[in-house]
C-alpha cells in the first residue's frame, strides 16, 4: 500500500481508504463484532484511513476495531449540521464515541451548491475546533463540481472529499448533472491550491462494480487525488482491492454482482418521484417520511432507477 500526504495538512494517509458506511445500519447492518473485524482486517492489510459520519452511526464499529490494538488510523468524520451548536455537539459526539481527544478530519457533510453561506455557523465551529486542537483539519464533502471548485478559493478549507468516477455517475453541477471531466477540472483546482483531496463513489454507489478494474484504474491514476475511499462490506472486498493494486488480479476479473441489492440513501433522497416513474416493476414507494424506498421483494436490481435519480441517492450494495 502506498501512502500520501493530504495537501498541506501534513496528514499522511493510505492511497486507498476504507469507507465504513456499508457495514453500518444504513446498509448491511452487520453485528458489531463482525463489522469491527472487517475494519481490523483492513488495518492489518495496511489501510490507515477511515471515513465515517455522524449519520452513518458507525462509530461503535471503529471503536471496537481499535480496542486493544496498536493502530492509530486517520479518521475522517462529517456532519449534516447547519449551525454552530449542532456542529459542536457532532464533534463532541465523535470524540466520545470514538474515544479520541482529537478527530483528524471533520467535514461539512454533502455541501450542495449555494449552501456554504447557509451553513456558515457550522463552518465557523469547525474553524474554532481546529484552533482548539480538537480536530486537525476541516473541509467539505460534496457531489457538486461547482462546490469543489469554490473550495479551491477558501483558505480555511484543508481537505475536499468529492464524488468522482469514470462514468460521472452522481456528479452534480448546481441544479443539473455534471461530467467526470468537469469534476476532474475542479479537483485539479483544489489540488493545485494545496487542498488535500480524497474521493468517493469510485463505483458510482455500487452501480459500476461490474466494471471493477476500469473503475479503480480511473481514480487511482489521477494524480490530483491523494486518496480514494472505497466502501468495504466484507473481507472479500478488501482482498479484491489488494489483488488489484498488487497486480495479482486476472485482467478479465470482475466481481459477481448478482446478489447485490438496490438501496435509496434517505439522507440524499429529495422525494422528487423520478425513480417511482421509471420503475416498471413498481418496486419503489414513498415511505412515511415522503422519501423513496425500495421493496426488495419486487426489485429486479436492473439499476434503471439509479441512472435516473437526479441526485444519485440510489446505490447498489
Read off the pLDDT of residues 36-82 as tens digits, 9 standing for 90 and up.
999 999 999 999 999 999 989 999 999 999 999 999 999 999 999 99
Q: What is the pTM of this model?
A: 0.87
CATH 3.40.190.10 fits domain 262-316: no
Read off the pLDDT of residues 2-45 as tens digits, 9 standing for 90 and up.
999 999 999 999 999 999 999 998 788 899 999 999 999 999 99
* pLDDT of 258 above 70: no
CATH 3.20.20.100 segments of the chain: 3-245
Strand runs labelled E in the chain: 3-5, 12-14, 16-19, 49-51, 74-79, 103-108, 135-142, 159-162, 172-173, 176-177, 196-199, 227-231, 262-264, 284-286, 292-294, 314-316
So what's the architecture of 3-245 in CATH?
Alpha-Beta Barrel (3.20)
Read off the pLDDT of residues 283-292 as tens digits, 9 standing for 90 and up.
899 999 999 9
CA–CA gap between residue 214 and residue 2 (Å, rounded): 20
How far, CA to CA in Å, does 223 sit from each of 45, 91, 186? 23, 31, 13
CATH 3.30.70.20 segments of the chain: 262-316
Average pLDDT of the residues of the chain: 93
Amino acid at each position: 500500500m502506498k501512502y500520501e500526504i493530504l495537501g498541506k495538512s501534513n496528514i499522511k494517509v493510505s492511497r486507498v481508504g476504507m469507507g465504513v458506511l456499508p457495514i453500518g445500519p444504513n446498509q448491511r447492518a452487520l453485528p458489531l463484532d463482525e463489522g469491527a473485524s472487517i475494519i481490523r482486517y483492513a488495518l492489518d492489510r495496511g489501510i490507515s484511513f477511515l471515513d465515517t459520519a455522524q449519520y452513518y452511526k458507525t462509530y461503535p464499529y471503529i471503536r471496537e476495531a481499535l480496542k486493544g490494538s496498536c493502530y492509530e488510523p486517520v479518521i475522517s468524520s462529517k456532519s449534516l449540521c447547519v449551525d454552530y451548536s449542532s456542529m459542536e455537539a457532532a464533534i463532541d459526539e465523535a470524540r466520545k464515541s470514538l474515544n479520541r481527544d482529537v478527530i483528524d478530519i471533520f467535514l461539512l457533510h454533502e455541501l450542495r451548491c449555494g449552501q456554504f453561506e447557509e451553513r456558515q455557523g457550522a463552518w465557523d465551529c469547525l474553524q474554532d475546533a481546529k484552533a482548539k486542537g480538537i480536530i486537525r483539519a476541516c473541509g467539505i464533502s460534496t457531489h457538486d463540481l461547482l462546490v469543489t471548485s469554490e473550495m479551491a478559493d477558501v483558505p480555511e478549507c484543508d481537505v475536499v472529499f468529492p464524488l468522482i468516477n469514470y462514468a460521472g455517475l452522481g456528479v452534480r453541477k448546481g441544479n443539473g448533472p455534471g461530467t467526470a471531466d468537469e469534476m476532474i477540472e475542479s479537483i485539479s483546482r483544489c489540488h493545485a491550491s494545496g487542498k488535500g483531496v480524497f474521493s468517493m463513489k469510485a463505483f458510482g454507489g455500487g452501480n459500476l462494480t461490474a466494471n471493477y478494474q476500469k473503475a479503480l484504474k480511473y481514480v487511482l491514476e489521477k494524480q490530483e487525488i491523494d486518496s480514494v475511499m472505497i466502501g468495504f462490506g466484507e473481507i472479500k472486498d478488501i482482498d479484491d482491492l489488494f489483488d488489484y493494486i498488487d497486480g495479482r488480479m486476472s485482467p478479465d476479473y470482475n466481481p459477481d454482482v448478482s446478489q447485490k441489492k438496490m438501496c435509496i440513501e434517505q439522507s440524499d433522497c429529495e422525494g422528487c418521484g423520478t425513480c417511482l416513474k421509471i420503475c416498471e416493476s413498481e418496486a419503489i414507494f414513498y415511505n412515511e417520511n415522503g422519501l423513496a424506498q425500495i421493496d426488495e421483494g419486487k426489485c429486479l436490481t436492473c439499476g434503471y432507477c439509479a441512472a435516473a435519480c437526479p441526485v444519485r441517492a440510489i446505490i447498489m450494495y
